[in-house]
């Protein structure tokens, strides 16, 4: 039946329709507004989530909130957590991951800030921007040509009846059971954990340290406690067993095996966790982000952060295409860059937790040995040079977007180790990076000639980039492995260089400077690789 027969109104065309008003969808809507796109976020729920749900904001997400001017409420209202305590009887041993992140991010450590507060923060900002979330409005259907770069027609049902919305793009940020993903027919590749995942918000918990995560090792179980505030307010996460227990059965197991003592329960949930990643993140003008694209266990405090960064990355790309700065074919970069991040997270964080946290006597001995080993090695490891890399992975700022496809030789503009990594936010460049524009940054020189780039590219800014050999230029053995066969590195390049930085803060290209000038061919090659038509290149902006 034709949906038009039921449509009571037709909304004007917009650039972006976002389905889902969780943290991912709200971030997408807000970045769209800041980048000049007309956007609408819809969700059938009556308002922001009331439950705490996801609770951890990592360093990279804090940097994004800083770019949006929203970091202060989180700094003021969050419970900082920068240590991990490994404890089962006795005082325990502490490992300081915030110290390992010092100098690599302005926001070392994790912030415990409940999802309900994150949603309110982002939704209020959207309302202030003149684009309030349309709560109580759910997606009924949509049509889109999977071979086209843009063009979606959607039917949205609300209190006043169905409304037809036409948009250039649609983002499905509608959760793990995503109707958008199902309508696209995209497989969700992964596995469901055999054990039941339990989550409880507790008050009056004994033996936890404010400002630290606490790992508990029992005979049958492993758990992590996240501090939520004073008075022993904490989130407990653990795997219970095969059957889904009720609240009292699950918590009785935690009390008996893990020695958890508390005064009252605020909230409890038990469910099976599906670790999965969508086969594709894009089909024509419809794109997936957050839990709609990938689902993780909440143990590492990574899932919500990955969704926030999906949205930030994707909408900046859409805005570049909408402005005509980049060719529509560049939309393929979203999946090419963000899907590997999700796959790595599932492989390392989720599977690793599933092994160590699985209940039963079969893994108990291994857990006890792991506890003793971690108690000795974790503090030393985080204090070593390798600790900076671990801190970067945990904080989600140590991400590498390869500038050219695997197997292709690296052109000169891509040989710098900084290319594909986020520009280290320093006191000298943080204000510039807040502008969320393409920028030029000069390192190792006090002056340089602006190359032939579009007038929309700001700069150059001087002396605000990473020092040579420091973040984001640190290289690991794993980094070298992923770059094997891709061409020579940057060691022989000139120390003076000009960086082309994307609106999301990642370095797109690096050009050696000779007498303050970058080679025109290097500049043209990089612009071409990022889909910036040569005809758009011009002199300095006024």
Query: Does pLDDT of 517 surpass 90?
Result: yes
pLDDT, residue 490, reads 41
How far apart are alpha carbons 365 and 360 in whole angstroms? 10
Closest CA to 290 of 177, 184, 395: 177
CA dihedral 511, 525, 149, 183 (to 10 degrees): -60
Percent of the chain past pLDDT 70, that is, above it, reads 81
Query: Does pLDDT of 535 surpass 60?
Result: no
Tens of pLDDT, residue by residue over 498-507, are 999 999 999 9
How far apart are alpha carbons 155 and 164 in whole angstroms? 5
CA dihedral 104, 340, 176, 234 (to 10 degrees): -30
The residue that leads in pLDDT, 352 or 389, is: 389
- Over range 328-343, report the average pLDDT: 95
Q: Is 230 exposed, middle or buried (0-12, 13-18, 19+ CB in 10 A)?
A: exposed
pLDDT, residue 392, reads 86
Q: How far is CA 383 from CA 31, 101, 102, 443, 528, in A?
A: 36, 10, 11, 29, 42
Q: How far is CA 206 from CA 85, 114, 225, 338, in A?
A: 14, 21, 11, 40
3-state helix, strand, coil in the chain (%, to 5): 35, 25, 40
Tens of pLDDT, residue by residue over 51-86, are 767 889 999 999 999 999 999 999 999 999 888 887
pLDDT, residue 91, reads 52
pLDDT, residue 365, reads 57
Query: Does pLDDT of 367 surpass 80?
Result: no
Query: Does pLDDT of 214 surpass 90?
Result: no
Among 371-380, 416-425, 451-460, 481-490, where is mean pLDDT lowest? 481-490
pLDDT, residue 303, reads 83
pLDDT, residue 10, reads 57
User: According to the 3-state scheme, what is the secondary structure of 288-312?
Assistant: ECHHHCEECCCCCCCHHHHHHHHHH
Query: Taking the CB of residue 48, how many other CB atoms lie within 10 A of it?
Result: 22
| Angle, helix 385-395 to helix 361-383, in steps of 10 degrees | 120
pLDDT, residue 376, reads 58
The answer to whether residues 404 and 489 touch, using CB atoms and an 8 Å cutoff, is no
pLDDT, residue 344, reads 86
- Over range 107-134, report the average pLDDT: 95
Tens of pLDDT, residue by residue over 237-252, are 887 776 778 899 999 9
- Supply the Cα-derived Rg of the chain in whole angstroms: 24
The residue that leads in pLDDT, 512 or 474, is: 512
Domains of the chain (ranges; CATH) run 3-55+113-187+276-340 (3.50.50.60), 412-536 (3.40.30)
Query: Does pLDDT of 155 surpass 80?
Result: yes
Among 139-153, 318-332, 479-493, where is mean pLDDT lowest? 479-493
Q: What residue spans of 68-114 are helical by DSSP H?
A: 71-77, 97-101
Tens of pLDDT, residue by residue over 89-118, are 545 556 788 888 999 999 999 999 999 999
How far apart are alpha carbons 267 and 247 in whole angstroms? 9
Hey, which bits of 128-211 come out as E strands?
134-135, 138-144, 152-158, 161-172, 188-203
**Pairing, β 152-158 against β 138-144:** antiparallel
- Over range 1-25, report the average pLDDT: 74
**Pairing, β 497-501 against β 439-443:** antiparallel
The residue that leads in pLDDT, 141 or 90, is: 141
Tens of pLDDT, residue by residue over 277-325, are 999 999 999 999 999 999 877 666 688 999 999 999 999 999 999 999 9
pLDDT, residue 302, reads 81
How far apart are alpha carbons 526 and 500 in whole angstroms? 9
- Over range 361-373, report the average pLDDT: 58
Among 70-74, 296-300, 342-346, 361-365, where is mean pLDDT lowest? 361-365
pLDDT interval class at 382 (50, 70, 90):
low
pLDDT, residue 516, reads 94
pLDDT, residue 380, reads 65
The residue that leads in pLDDT, 130 or 218, is: 130
- 426 Cβ contact list (under 8 Å, min separation 6): 464, 466
């Amino acid at each position: 039946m034709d949906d038009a027969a039921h449509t009571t109104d037709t909304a004007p065309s917009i650039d972006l329709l976002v389905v889902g008003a969780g943290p991912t969808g709200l971030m997408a809507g807000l970045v769209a507004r800041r980048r000049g796109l007309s956007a609408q976020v819809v969700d059938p729920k009556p308002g922001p989530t009331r439950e705490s749900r996801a609770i951890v904001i990592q360093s990279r997400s804090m940097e994004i909130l800083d770019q949006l001017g929203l970091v202060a409420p989180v700094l003021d209202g969050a419970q900082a957590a920068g240590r991990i305590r490994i404890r089962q009887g006795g005082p325990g041993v502490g490992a300081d991951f915030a110290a390992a992140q010092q100098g690599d991010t302005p926001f070392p450590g994790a912030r415990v800030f409940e999802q309900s507060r994150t949603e309110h923060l982002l939704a209020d900002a959207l309302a202030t921007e003149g684009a309030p979330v349309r709560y109580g409005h759910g997606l009924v259907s949509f049509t889109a040509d999977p071979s086209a770069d843009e063009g979606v027609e959607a039917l949205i049902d609300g209190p006043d009846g169905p409304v037809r919305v036409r948009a250039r793009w649609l983002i499905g940020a509608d959760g793990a059971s995503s109707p958008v993903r199902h309508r696209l027919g995209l497989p969700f590749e992964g596995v469901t954990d055999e054990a039941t995942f339990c989550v409880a918000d507790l008050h009056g918990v004994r033996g936890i340290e404010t400002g630290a995560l606490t790992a508990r090792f029992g005979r049958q179980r492993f758990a992590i406690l996240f501090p939520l505030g004073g008075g022993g307010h904490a989130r407990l996460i653990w795997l219970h067993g095969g059957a889904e227990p009720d609240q009292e059965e699950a918590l009785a197991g935690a009390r008996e095996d893990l020695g958890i003592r508390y005064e009252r329960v605020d909230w409890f949930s038990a469910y099976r966790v599906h670790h999965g990643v969508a086969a594709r993140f894009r089909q024509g003008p419809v794109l997936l982000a957050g839990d709609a694209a990938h689902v993780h266990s909440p143990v590492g405090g990574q899932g919500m952060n990955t969704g926030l960064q999906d949205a930030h990355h994707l909408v900046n790309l859409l805005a570049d295409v909408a402005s005509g700065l980049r060719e529509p074919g560049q939309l393929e970069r979203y999946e090419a860059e963000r899907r590997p991040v999700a796959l790595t997270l599932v492989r390392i964080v989720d599977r690793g937790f599933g092994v160590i946290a699985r209940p039963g006597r079969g893994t108990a001995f291994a857990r006890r040995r792991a506890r003793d080993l971690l108690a000795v090695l974790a503090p030393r490891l985080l204090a070593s040079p390798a600790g900076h890399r671990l801190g970067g992975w945990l904080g989600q700022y140590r991400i590498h977007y390869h500038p050219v496809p695997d197997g292709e030789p690296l052109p000169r503009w891509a040989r710098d180790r900084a290319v594909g990594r986020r520009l280290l936010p320093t006191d000298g460049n943080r204000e510039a990076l807040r502008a969320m524009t393409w920028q030029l940054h000069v390192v190792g020189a006090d002056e340089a000639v602006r190359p032939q780039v579009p007038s929309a590219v700001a700069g150059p800014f001087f002396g605000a980039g990473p020092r040579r050999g420091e973040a984001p230029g640190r290289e690991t053995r794993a980094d070298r492995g992923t770059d094997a066969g891709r061409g020579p590195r940057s060691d022989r390049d000139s120390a003076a260089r000009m960086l082309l930085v994307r609106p999301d803060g990642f370095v797109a290209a690096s050009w050696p400077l000779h007498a303050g000038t970058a080679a025109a061919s290097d500049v043209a090659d990089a612009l071409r690789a990022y889909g910036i038509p040569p005809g758009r290149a011009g002199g300095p902006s006024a």
